[in-house]
Chain A
Amino acid sequence: MERAKLDIWVGIFVILGIAAMFGLATKVGNLTSNSIKETYQVFANFENIGGLKPRAAVKAAGVVVGRVDSIVFDTEAYHAVVKMKVDTRYIFPKDTFANIYTAGLLGEQYIGLEAGGDLENLEDGDLITQTQDAVVLEKLISQFLYNKAAEED
């Protein structure tokens, strides 16, 4: 086969490959959907994070406003420090509540932010003081059993 024809076929082949990669990136993957660009960091301390993982969603009223950036264990205070990156478009008052919720019965865990009434807003590097830990099923059951036992006494 002559060379020009070969070149055209190979060109089509490469373009098909690029198109497939583009399709995978935009249609299948999450390259476009998390279009959070400029963020500010907020910290929150939890006694127990349950199954929360880095890159988990940070939601307010169900809307994704940010992502969990990192989770570390603080050996001085013995609690988990969660670093979140929140979109700069969304501002929250200083007394915002951070709760760890579970999506559905078996779903993954995310952080839910509930705005408070403070006049000042959270800024980059601030700490959310009011937090609520993840619900641990074993703790819930043992609490229930203790209460039952206490009632019967």
Chain B
Amino acid sequence: MNKILNFIEGIGSTFRRKMARLGAGTRLFFLVLIYSGDSFKRIHLTIREIYFTGVLSLIIIVVSAFFVGMVLGLQGYYTLEKYGSSEAIGVLVALALVRELGPVVTALLFAGRAGTAITAEIGLMKATEQLSAMEVMAVSPVARIIAPRFWAGMISMPILATIFSMVGILGGYFIAVLVIGVDEGSFWSQMQANVDFSNDIVDGAIKSIVFGFACTIIALFEGFDAPPTAEGVSRATTRTVVISSLAVLGLDFILTSFMFV
């Protein structure tokens, strides 16, 4: 009897804990909005964070984009060749990258490269009581630490996703046109005829903004909420990657289902 009671109690307390975390996360978001004036007034704080989240992620984004584009070019070519329409390879690569792979893969890499760094940094600041020290000095840690990182993530992520799409298409071009020998003119002209700016490219950019928001706020909250121990910080970092990835994939499905019907 006791076991059953414990089990039911366990479900309830887990649910309550999750809800409380969601609430605390939402509260953090509104705090960020309230204090974000400071992060634009002292713009160098935000620029510093753009350097760490955006510029330093550039290498991994460019390299993986090039490889993703090359793989798309190769795999697409094998199938399209069977139907005698290998010129459509440009459309395939461009649409796949601009609509889906650009924003999604960038967000996954961003969560792994920048999100974990944010969580670990803030978690460690908390563990070494730097955040408490700021509060003692009447400096709000949200204004000084959280808000600049939030806006840096929101700005970096769409830029990274755009660069990912463009470099990926160049990777596809490299394989399809330069290596395999698909006609260059029809590669680009079919792409232009079938990729719509306001439907495909802008929708992809909207996706990347939403993903940037999700990844950044999750990383910030996990760091801010981490228990101030070595174990707590390491767990929070792991949770950042897991939750960000799941959130990105889930949001991608929702966004796709009402963008491209």
Q: Please give the residue numbers on chain A whose beta carbons come within 8 Å of chain B beta carbons, in ascending order.
A: 1, 3, 6-7, 9-10, 12-14, 16-17, 19-21, 23-25, 27-31, 33, 55
Contact = CB atoms under 8 A, between A and B. Distances in A.
A27 B188 contact: yes
Interface stretch (B13-21, B48-56, B70-78, B133-141): B48-56
A14 to B, nearest CB: 7
B163 interface: yes
Contact of B195 (A12, A13, A30): A30
Interface of B: 44, 47-48, 50-51, 54-55, 58, 94, 98, 156, 158-160, 162-163, 165-167, 169, 188, 191-193, 195-197, 200-201, 205
B196 A29 contact: yes
Contact of A30 (B47, B58, B196): B196
Given A6-B48, A6-B51, A10-B55, A30 B197 contact: yes
B44 A3 contact: yes
Given A16-B58, A19-B166, A29-B200, 6 more contacts: A6-B47, A9-B51, A17-B162, A20-B159, A29-B192, A30-B193
A17 B201 contact: no
The 6 tightest CB contacts between A and B, nearest first, are A17-B159, A20-B166, A29-B197, A20-B162, A31-B197, A20-B163
A17 B163 contact: yes
Nearest to A32: B192
A80 B188 CA distance: 35
B201 A28 contact: yes
